[in-house]
Amino acid sequence: MLIAGKDLRRSVRDRSAIMTAVVAPLVLAFILSSVLGDASTTLNAEFAVVDQDGGEVSQRFVGQVLESLTDQGVTITEVDSPDEARRMAEDGEVAAALVLPSGLSDAVQSFQEAEITIIANPESSVGVQIAESVAGGFAAELNSVRLSISTVLAGRGEPATVETVQELQSEAVSSSTPIGVEEQAAGSRQFDGNTFFAAGISVFFLFFTAQIGAVSLLQERKEGTLARLVAAPVARSSVVGAKAIYSFVLGALSMAILIVASHFLMSARWGDPLAVAVLVLSAVFAAMGLQSLVTTLAKTDEQAAGYGAIVGVTLGMLGGTFFPLSQAPGLMAQLSFVAPHAWIMDGLGELSGGAGTLADVLPAIAALLLFGMITGALAFVRSRSLVVA
């Protein structure tokens, strides 16, 4: 305990340890959540619209279809000419521009061909896809109305006069949809944008923080202080155990600080405090075991830091700390659970929505404890050979 306390006091004075354990992950998570945290709930795009038609169809597209997107983070800017819209798209002022040509409404109402032109910002592929989807959906709606009118006229054997078409159009547009689609979630056990980045970055950096204790063993051997400990009446197992306690406490403290700070600074939602605490402590145990084992494979502290970085980054990417595992291919999603990161993220995701309990994350906790016991036992056996006079 004295050795572990000494190492913890040194970490408080060591700015690099504080940067790795708290400052860097918190800053990075805040930046990512600020830029991408609302991407799952809002579109965050700006469109320019040129209405050269001014007719009933174009007014419905601008006033109803596009305006309905403003609640989802889309900004609509009306401009006077296609040239101005093209300039805005080229300069990156808008994600895309939509041009409604003159005569659009007349062409639709008289069963003639019509088109909506989309001018794409080459640097905003997502915004262009949104614009294409919106315009395509509106075109599909118009085509369905046209098909309905054509079917009615064919059944009546009447000519397609402008008056008849307009009357049937009004009926078709005002009629209710026979089938609707309603989305219902099977549960709320999933991350929101802010919580995902807070959790992912915290877990990613945890595996760097958990290595600090093991690396300090190599540092002390290089500096000569380890030889003094061995010469004193201190068992080698006590030295190794002190480094383990140091790593565990440092990792647990860093995760606790990040969880509390992200809750207040980023509105991150973590769920049941007891379940989160047990899961986090299991995660620290697994991270400490893995990185301690990696450290014992190195001969110097610099080499150990390099090995740890390779393992941390690789398993962090594989374990879904930077992107949801649901977006990965099927094989990759299954393979990801080789990494303890995936179990941690899966458990935190279960709790994040507020519906998850300790019982829901018991499989993740068991996997992390097993992972930590196996790697930690191997690391303990190998690290004893490092503690020599």
In sequence order, what E strands does the chain have?
45-51, 74-78, 96-100, 117-120
Q: Is 97 helix (H, G, I), strand (E, B) or coil?
A: strand
How far is residue 266's CA from residue 276's CA, in Å, rounded to a whole number? 18
Q: Residue 282's pLDDT is what?
A: 96
Tell whether the model's pLDDT for residue 297 goes beyond 80.
yes
Q: In percent, how much of the chain has pLDDT > 70?
A: 83
How far is residue 169's CA from residue 152's CA, in Å, rounded to a whole number? 11
Tell whether the model's pLDDT for residue 370 goes beyond 50.
yes
How far is residue 286's CA from residue 280's CA, in Å, rounded to a whole number? 10
Average pLDDT over the chain, rounded to an integer? 81
120 φ/ψ angles, rounded to the nearest 5 degrees: -95, 140
Reported confidence tier of residue 146, pLDDT bands at 50, 70, 90: confident
pLDDT digits (tens, 9 = 90+) for 8-21: 888 777 777 788 88
Class of domain 45-173: alpha beta
pLDDT digits (tens, 9 = 90+) for 204-217: 999 999 888 888 87
Which range in 135-149, 228-242, 322-336, 350-364 is most confidently predicted, on average pLDDT? 350-364
Q: Residue 364's pLDDT is what?
A: 94
355 compared with 251, residue with greater pLDDT: 251
How far is residue 328's CA from residue 178's CA, in Å, rounded to a whole number? 36
Q: In percent, how much of the chain has pLDDT > 90?
A: 20
List all residues 6 or more positions away from 64 whose beta carbon is below 8 Å from its beta carbon.
Answer: none
Domain locations along the chain: 2-38+192-384, 45-173
pLDDT digits (tens, 9 = 90+) for 307-330: 989 999 999 988 888 877 666 666
Reported confidence tier of residue 180, pLDDT bands at 50, 70, 90: low
Write down the H helix ranges in 93-180. Answer: 104-109, 125-156, 162-174
pLDDT digits (tens, 9 = 90+) for 263-295: 898 888 898 999 999 999 999 999 999 998 998
Tell whether the model's pLDDT for residue 389 goes beyond 50.
no
The pTM is what? 0.67
Q: Is there a contact between 342 and 328 (Cβ–Cβ < 8 Å)? A: no
Tell whether the model's pLDDT for residue 57 goes beyond 70.
yes
Tell whether the model's pLDDT for residue 238 goes beyond 60.
yes
341 compared with 214, residue with greater pLDDT: 341
Query: At 381, which helix (H) or strand (E)?
Result: helix 362-384
Q: Is there a contact between 66 and 134 (Cβ–Cβ < 8 Å)? A: yes
> Which stretch of 2-6, 99-103, 142-146, 153-157 has the lowest confidence by average pLDDT?
153-157
Q: Average the pLDDT over 146-175 and give the result.
A: 66
Looking at residue 334, its amino acid is Q
Q: Residue 278's pLDDT is what?
A: 96
